[in-house]
Amino acid sequence: MLWSLYLFRQKIMANYTKKPNSVVEFTLTVTEPELAKAQTNIIKEYKKNLSIKGFRKGHAPNDMVIAHFGVDNLLNQGFNDVIEREYRKFVKAESLSPVAAPNVDFGDMKELPVTVTVTVEVFPEIDLGEYKKIKVAPLKVEVTDKEVEDALATVMADMSLGTEVKRAAKDQDQVVVNFAGKDEKGNVLPKTEGKDVPFRIGFGHFLSDLEKAFVGMKAGEEKTAVPVKFPKNYHAKDMAGKTVHFDIKLVSVKEVSVKNLNEDLVEKITGKKQSVEDLKKQMSELIEANKKRSALGTKKEEYKAELGKKVKIELPQSWINKEVESRLAYVKRSPEFVANADKFWEQLGKTEEELVKEFQKEADVSLKAYLALSEIVKAEKIELTDAEYEGAHMKVHQRLKTAGHDSPEHAQLMAQEVMNAKIDKFFSQIFDL
């Protein structure tokens, strides 16, 4: 049967109920007159282009047309036509917004009239509750001189702009080193050797014991059989938890200090002539922007958590399923999973079923938050400026390089991006940015 498509509602509806997860259920009786009318229209349209020997095109008797069309096919198509027509009437009359194809239980189909039970997921009702009572503090961040100096020192180290010194190496110095891990026989172990390797002491670039061994050494100095403990969770299992002895050499030592920064070094960093103070100001503004971005992310999550306590939304299960499937598919596209699925789950420390349960909880929270925020921006009448709208438009073009302006993909993504921009603007307003 071809009846599992969009459903319909008879003129007099009975047993209309709301089910959990934003599901609507109702029963409908399909009568013989309705079905007969639909079948008459089908035959009328079909015979227009039907040629049967002995009759002019479109003038064959109905019984011969039915035989050509097929009795079962006519019955199925008749039901389908009634279903489509009445379903559209039902949706319009009840102002519903279905979000998935409905399901139907046809029950006893032995004879007409036929009573069917229809269930369909619809766009959920959203009760925002007292969202305006959520306490929101303005987002404020501070940038210290030390943070600016540390950031500039990192830039100087990355660009090898330190000053070479003859003293012993200490924390924060940039050094160049040689090292090699060896077994009991003095043979170099695989993947434990490095030559002329630059790194900055105290930033965790190397194993802790190996980094500490270079402190106090001077350029050209060497050490042998330095014990280095590998952590138990080390990525190479054959080395995890073991102690390996290293031969090491300190090749050079550079002091990285903002005190040594001058306009010549500034020009090397920025590519243009400017003062040290101008560079410090730019770095301060960059740190402030990064801090605000990070703090805003935290504030948003805190707001969403509080919002989740106040709003009431029953999500369609198909939405949660779709979100979970999307996240799981992303996981299974990872190189680690593709290479060895069993090893992937072992290293993750959980089964696929456990991960799916986590995704289900996360999807429920994130989808409810998005729906609630979408309603809030409407309630608060948040609108975009022309520049903000154009910014959203550009993001869509970057994602859809081939789709035209009139394509469904463009329209859908544009609506999403505009809503995201409005939500971001709402957060900027409440956090006084």
Q: Are residues 303 and 416 in the same domain?
A: yes
In a domain, 264, yes or no: no
Would 420 be classed as within a structural domain?
Answer: yes
Same-domain pairing of 197 and 87: no
Here the CATH number for the domain that contains residue 75 is 3.30.70.1050
In a domain, 273, yes or no: no
Q: Is 318 contained in some domain?
A: yes
Q: Are residues 21 and 90 in the same domain?
A: yes
- The reply to whether 133 falls in a domain is no
**Do residues 179 and 102 both lie within one domain?**
no
What pLDDT sits at residue 66? Answer: 87
Q: What is the pLDDT of residues 153-200, one digit of tens each?
A: 999 988 888 889 999 999 999 999 999 999 999 999 998 999 999 999
Residue 325 inside a domain? The answer is yes
More confident residue, 238 or 27: 238
What is the rounded average pLDDT for all residues in the chain? 88
Task: Say how far apart CA 103 and CA 217 lie, in whole Å.
Answer: 75
Instruction: Report d(CA 225, CA 219) in Å as an integer.
Output: 19
For residue 171, the domain's CATH number is 3.10.50.40
Whether residues 291 and 425 share a domain: the answer is: yes
**Enclosing domain of residue 174:** 163-255
Q: What is the pTM of this model?
A: 0.68
| Domain shared by 175 and 238, yes or no | yes
Examine the fold and report which residue of 73, 97, 123 is the final residue of a domain before the chain moves on.
123
Q: Are residues 329 and 414 in the same domain?
A: yes
Of the three residues 74, 98, 123, the one that is the final residue of a domain is: 123
Is the pLDDT at 7 greater than 60? The verdict is no
288, 421: one domain:
yes
Q: How far apart are CA 432 and CA 170, in angstroms?
A: 43
Boundary of a domain, candidates 123, 155, 188? 123
Q: How far, in Å, CA of 75 to CA of 122, rounded?
A: 29
Predicted local distance difference test score (pLDDT) of residue 12: 36
pLDDT > 90: what percent of the chain? Answer: 56
> Quick one: tokens of 14?
């009975």
- Please indicate, yes or no, whether residues 290 and 375 belong to a single structural domain of this protein: yes
Looking at residue 4, what is its pLDDT?
31
Q: What is the pLDDT of residue 152?
A: 93
Q: How many domains does the chain have?
A: 3
Rounded Cα–Cα distance for residues 80 and 116 (Å)? 13
With respect to residue 97, please indicate whether it lies within any of the assigned structural domains.
Answer: yes
For 16, other C-beta atoms within 10 Å of its C-beta total: 13
pLDDT score at 55: 85
Q: Are residues 28 and 83 in the same domain?
A: yes
Mean pLDDT confidence for 325-330 = 96
The reply to whether 174 and 220 lie within a common domain is yes
Percent of the chain surpassing pLDDT 70: 94
Q: Tell me the C-alpha distance between 426 and 375, whole Å.
A: 11
228 located within any domain? yes
